[in-house]
Each structure stands twice: as C-alpha cells, then as structure tokens.
Amino acid sequence: MNVLIVHAHPEARSFASALKDAAAAELRSLGHEVRVTDLYAMGFDPRLTRADFLETADPAYFKPQREQLHASEHDSFAPDVQAQLDDLAWAQLVIFTFPLWWFSLPAILKGWVDRVFVMGRVYGGGKVHETGGMRGKRAMLCLTTGGPGSSYSSDGRNGALGALLSHVQWGMLHFAGFDVLAPFVVWGPARASSEDLAATLTVWRERLRAIEHEAPVAVEPLGG
C-alpha cells in the first residue's frame, strides 16, 4: 500500500512528530511504501498565489479556482504544487499528523489543503463527495490535543470532537472523495507521563498493523 503522511508541527521532538515517525517506521516495516511530507521542515508556503501556476487563465483578475482548473487542464502547476499532487495521486492512504490548534488544523496544513486540493483534479465538475477526485483512496487524522478527553465530549467545555472535526473530515476529506477512517486522538500528551506516551505509541503501532483492512466510518456535516 502507498501511504502519504502529511505532517504539521514546528517541533521535531513533539509527540505529534513522534506519532509521525512511529507511523512511517511501522508501515515501512510492514512492507508498505511511505512518503512523508513534513510541512514545517520543508518550509512549505501555505499561501495560494499566482506563483502556483506557470501560466494564467486571466491575468487581470485572480480567481484561484479558475486558475486551478486551467492548470489542471493544461498541466501548468508550479513544480512545488505538482510534486504534492503527484504524491497525492500516488497515495492510497493519506495520514495527517498534527496538533489541534484553535479547534482546527494548523495554518500551514490548511494552506496545504488550499494549494493541493485543486479544482479540476481533486474536486469540481460534479466530482464531490462520493464522486470526488480522491474516490477509492482513504484518509485519516492523527492528532494531539491540549486538553483532556473529557473537555471534548458532548457535554464538555470544548464540545464534541466529532463536531469540531466535521469541517475537516466532511468538508475537506469526504468532499474530495476520500473514505474517512476514524481519527487517532491523543488527549493532552504534554501532561502525560513518559510511560503513558510509550503505551500510546504501542497502541498506535498496533492499529497501523491492520490499517490496510480498516473500514471507513460515517462522517456527516455539522448538524447533519
């Protein structure tokens, strides 16, 4: 299986980074092909600009969707965007590893989605949700939180995690056509003991051993 890990954390010694490293090592040990896109390490630019395109559809007015569609039709994405698109096309499973910041993705990871989930390749022209461009591929979130799990329940102060992640799992992944696997969540690793963190990595590795056969979960829009 071809696995792409897209990682967003500025600290290589963070637990989110440990999850990324453990996933890459475990999956490779099982014979899977793994590519890692470490956004901070590579200095990824999250801004969607005209620099994403080698030629322009409309030099007078910048409409990103129109330019993405034009580039999709004419193979005219800038090399850095094309490289990400190539990895996305190659992948059968995409794992996103990141900390939950402000109840959402880190800005650099959201920028990766803005630049790489392009109209004409990933979605558009009737290709959304069940007919999305990523149909047949799977995706999952692997994330850490700052607070304990009790804070992210339906009666917790932060609200249910599933609701907080709806805009990602439904509005980005499912919208693009991915089958979505259940997220792997580590609650408050900054306050956990080294023994607990080691045990969490063991659980993570055990899940990855069967990930190739794991069934997707139902995701729906917030309020759906």
pLDDT of res. 51:
98
The whole-angstrom separation of Cα 24 and Cα 19 is: 9
- What is the C-alpha separation between 43 and 220, in angstroms, rounded? 33
pTM of the entire predicted model: 0.96
Residue 36's alpha-carbon distances to 2, 68, 75, 176, 182, in angstroms, are 11, 24, 24, 21, 20
In this prediction, residue 156 carries a pLDDT of 86
Low-confidence spans in the chain with pLDDT less than 70: 223-224
- CATH homologous superfamily of 2-213 equals Flavodoxin domain (3.40.50.360)
